[in-house]
Amino acid sequence: MRTTLILDDELIAKARELTGIEEKTRLIHMGLEALVQRAAAKRLSALSGSMKNFTVASRNRNADYPLMIAEDAAEYGVTPRSKK
């Protein structure tokens, strides 16, 4: 979807400097994703203690079910961890 935005030049420059992301579109996408994650975390934390009979699941990963990544991490400038 195309849209026109009025952006603060200083804020864009600061975000570029801190992230190393030069492309404005990618910078905005990453910012929106971070905002969504932050809001989701707030909603999740608001639920704390609301399920009285909840049992916490084990955090140990089963080797039969490896971590799956849905997106290509290289697209965001991240090098994926090597498989053990």
pLDDT tens sequence across 6-32: 999 999 999 999 999 999 999 999 999
Cα–Cα dist 15/28, whole Å: 10
Cα–Cα dist 41/43, whole Å: 5
Looking at residue 75, the DSSP 8-state letter turns out to be: G
Its pTM stands at: 0.54
**Is the pLDDT higher at 61 or at 25?**
25
Confidence band, pLDDT 50/70/90 cuts, at residue 57: confident
Query: Are residues 67 and 61 in contact, defined by beta-carbon separation less than 8 angstroms?
Result: yes
Cα–Cα dist 56/46, whole Å: 17
Residue 10, CB half-sphere, CA atoms under 13 Å: how many? 0
Provide the pLDDT for residue 80: 59
Cα–Cα dist 45/58, whole Å: 19
